[in-house]
Amino acid sequence: MKQIKKEDLNKNFIYPIYEEDSVHTSLCDRLGYDLNKVAVKTNNEITVVHTLGKCPFDKIIFVGLGTKDQMTTYALRKTLTHVFASLKEDAVLWATPIVYGNHNIDDIVRLCVETHCLAQYQEQVIGHDAKERVNLDILADQDVNDAIAKGLAYAEGINLSRKLADRPANLMTPDDLLEQAQILAKDYDLELTVLNKNDLMDMKAGGILSVNLGSDLPAYMLCLKYNNNGDAPYHAVIGKGITFDSGGYNIKGNSFGMKYDMCGAANVIGVMKVLASTHAKANVYGIIPTTENLINGSAYKPQDVITTLAGKTIEIVSTDAEGRLILCDAITYAQQLGATHLIDMATLTGACVSALGDLYTGVFSNDDEFCDEFMEVTKACDEKSWRLPIDDEYFAKLKSNSADFKNSVGKMGAGASVAANFLGAFVEDSTKWIHLDIAGTADNDGSAATGVMIRSICEYLSK
C-alpha cells in the first residue's frame, strides 16, 4: 500500500461521495455525460461505472456516504468495510472527498488503510496458503505517507492477534504462544521474560499452576517489556491465555469456540506489536499467563483449596471459573514489577455475553478517572464499551468457610460483576485497574476473532 499521484492512476478508482457533493467535472467531461445522474450517493450504496477506455482505469466505483452532517467515523468504517471486503481487484481510493467536520486528511487516510486491511483479513485454511490481500493505493492532495504507515501498523497488530486466536487449539498451545512472543521480541528488540512451570512453582503462583494440573502441556507467565518513555511509570496490559477450556471437572456441555479463550493473550501480542512498530511514547509490560484447562487424574477439583501468588487462599467452586485464577496471579506479578496502571482483557464470563451481547465490551474499574479517560478513547476509536459495577456486596457472595474466598458463587446472577470483584481483590489500593470482559466481543459466535480493544488500548497508551 502506498500513496500515488494522479498521473499514476491506472487501477480501479474508488470515488467516495457525499450527497451534497458533485462528481468532479473532469471525469464527467472524459466520459461525456453527467455522472451525478448515475452515482447513488446515499450511504452504503455502491455504483460501478465502466469507463470504456476513456480513462486510464477500467472502472469508477462510487461509494455513497450520505450527508456530511450524519457521517461518523463508526458509520464510515462500516461503509468502507462493506466496500473493501468485496474488492476482487487492486484499486485506488481517492481519500480527499471523504474529509468532513473536524477530521483532517491524515485521520481519514489512517482510518481507510486500517479498515481495508481488516476487511481483507480471512482465517487461513489449515494446509493452504493464506489468501493474498487485494492491494489498495491512496490518492490524496497532500503527503499522507505517515498516516498510511500508522494505519498499516495498527491493522497488522490487530490482524496478528486475529491470526493467532483463529488457530485451532492443537496448533496454538502455550508453547506456540511462547514462540510468538519470542518472534515479536526478536523483531522489535523487546525484552522477554519467560517464567516456566518451575519458575511458577518457585514463586508459588498457585492460581495458574492449579489450572495447569489437568494438562500435559506446560504453563507459562510471559512478559514482554516495551520501554520508550524514560523513567515514566509502567502500565501493564494483561491477557487471559487459556488456549483451550474444557471446563475441567465442571465440564462444559459444549466447548465449541473454546479455542478463542486465549483472545486476551493474542490481543496483548497485538498491542505490543502496534506500540513497538509505531514507536509509541510509553512504558508497557505485556503479560500473558497461559495454560490449557483440561482433565486428567491430577486435575484440580471442586472444593479444593489453592494458594495464589498473592498468598490468598481460594476455595474452588467451579473448575470452569479458571480464567480469573490465572489472571489473579498475573495481576499480582504486574504489581510486583512496579506497574501502576493495569488493563486486563479476558473472555471471562458468559454472564457478560448475556448482558451485553456481541456489541459492547464490559468495563470494570476501581478508579473513575482512569475508567472515564479510557472509555472516552474507546468511543473515539469506535469500539463500544459499557461500564458495569463492582461492589463489596458482590464480593461478599464469594465468602468461603475453608479459604479466604471462593472462585465462584456457583449459581446464576451478576456473574460478570462477581468475577470482576474477584480480580479486584488482588489489586492494591494504590494501583489503578481496568478489567475488560471481552467474552462477547472477542470473536463472532465461535468463529473469526476480532482483535477487539487493541485499537483503543494502543491509542490510550500512546497518549
* Dist. CA 305–CA 235, nearest whole Å: 31
Strands 235-239 and 341-346: parallel
Is 324 known to be catalytic?
yes
Q: Which of 59, 68, 133, 252 is catalytic?
A: 252
Residue 282, Cβ neighbours under 10 Å: how many? 19
- Closest by Cα among 277, 335, 288 to 458: 277
- Closest by Cα among 42, 130, 46 to 85: 46
**DSSP characters over 119-181:** HH--PPPTTSPPPPPPPEEEE-SS--HHHHHHHHHHHHHHHHHHHHHHS-TTTS-HHHHHHHH
**Contacting residues for 297 by C-beta, under 8 A, at least 6 apart:** none
* Dist. CA 371–CA 373, nearest whole Å: 5
Question: Which three cell numbers, joined as nine digits, stand for 217?
Answer: 502441556
- The residues with which 364 forms a beta bridge, in sequence order, are 435
Is the distance from CB of 339 to CB of 363 less than 8 angstroms? Answer: no
Residue 268, Cβ neighbours under 10 Å: how many? 33
Give, for 395, the enclosing helix (H) or strand (E).
Answer: helix 392-396
Q: Which of 41, 163, 240, 324 is catalytic?
A: 324
CA atoms within 13 A on the CB side of 221: 28
* Side chain identity, residue 209: L
Distance from the first to the final alpha carbon of the chain: 26
Is the distance from CB of 89 to CB of 134 less than 8 angstroms? Answer: yes
Buried b (16+ CB within 10 A) or exposed e, 329-343: bbbbbbbeeebbbbb
Beta strands in 294-379 (DSSP E): 305-307, 313-315, 341-346, 361-365
Buried b (16+ CB within 10 A) or exposed e, 41-50: bebeeebebe
Is 379 known to be catalytic?
no
Residue 20, Cβ neighbours under 10 Å: how many? 11
* Dist. CA 150–CA 56, nearest whole Å: 30
Known catalytic residues are: 252, 324
